[in-house]
Amino acid sequence: MSQLSEEQRLMRQSCRDFVDDVVIPFIRGNWQREWVMTPENRLPPEILVGADQIGIRTLGVPEEFGGVELEPGTEVQTFALISEEIARGDSGLSDKLVQNWKVSVLLRNLAPRHLQEIWFKRLTEDPQFLLAHCLTEPRDDVDHGFVAEADHSDGIASFVLHLDRAISWNVFARTMETLIALRGSDLLRVKGFLDVEGCQGPVLVQVVQHLAHPPVELSAWPDSDHQSRLVFITRHIAENHVRDLFNAVRTLSPQGR
């Protein structure tokens, strides 16, 4: 990373300022919104507007459609650089922006002109618009295009897991290691606060498929509710199976908790 271009250095600094000044203060002041199960109420409009204003929401979109083109030879490196910086503030926001970039590259390189005009126009005109894509089996009645982010489908579900008492870090770690080893690709996202034995404040944990972010112990709980709560977004993994796995690991652990 010592050979960053001037463009990359400027973009990284803009993202760093955005994360420090906007994203982190919002997350600290509104962490309860992680438990809101209505998708449109979880991510505030001002966050995506801010991302749009510094030019990172439409990376990879051709300039003729109002996007931000990157140097072709370092585009992937720039995507990684920016996503890492955004994830420092919130991995979920980073995931959403990465989806925009990935689909924009697919549209730019593979889609016919009429689909580019439809989806790039919608993306650049609405700061709240997010892209995602799906793959389908070839059929005559299928429009092989791109679709906007939609409600959960194809076995994707979200649920909140509450743990009624403090948990040892070893139990949590072993449970997640097992889930990741067996179903990592279907563990789309896990994020939440844990009441960990021996810790004064909550421990923030985040997992995306096979990647577990380093845990962060916060200085204090924001209110009197110290119950562990984890948001899971999974594919074909039921809530009761996750809960049963936690209970089994807890029962088998030497401490029994």
DSSP per-residue letters across 60-85: TS-GGGT-B---GGGHHHHHHHHHHH
Which domain range does residue 239 map to? 156-252
Closest Cα partner for 165 from 256, 33, 47, 58? 256
End of a domain among 87, 114, 148?
A: 148
Q: How far apart are CA 223 and CA 243, in angstroms?
A: 25
pLDDT higher at 83 or 36: 83
Residue 75 has pLDDT above 50, yes or no: yes
Q: Tell me what pLDDT residue 74 has.
A: 87
* Residue 225: inside a domain: yes
Alpha helix ranges (H) inside the chain: 6-18, 24-29, 45-53, 75-87, 91-110, 113-125, 169-183, 239-252
Q: Is residue 190 part of a domain?
A: yes
Q: Has residue 11 been placed in a domain? A: yes
> Which one, of 131, 107, 151, 125, lies nearest residue 49 by Cα?
125
> pLDDT for 138-181, tens place per residue?
444 444 443 333 334 467 888 889 888 899 999 999 999 999 99
The mean per-residue pLDDT over the stretch 12-17 comes to 93
pLDDT band at 16 (very low <50, low <70, confident <90, very high): very high
Looking at the 3D structure of the chain, how many domains does it have? 2
> Which residues, listed in sequence order, are joined to residue 194 by a DSSP beta bridge?
203
Residues 217-228: pLDDT tens digits? 888 887 788 889
Domain co-membership, 162 together with 140: no
**Which residue is listed with tokens 């209505």?**
38
The encoded tokens of residue 31 equal 């962490």
Identify whether 1 is part of a domain.
no
pTM comes to 0.53
pLDDT of residue 150: 35
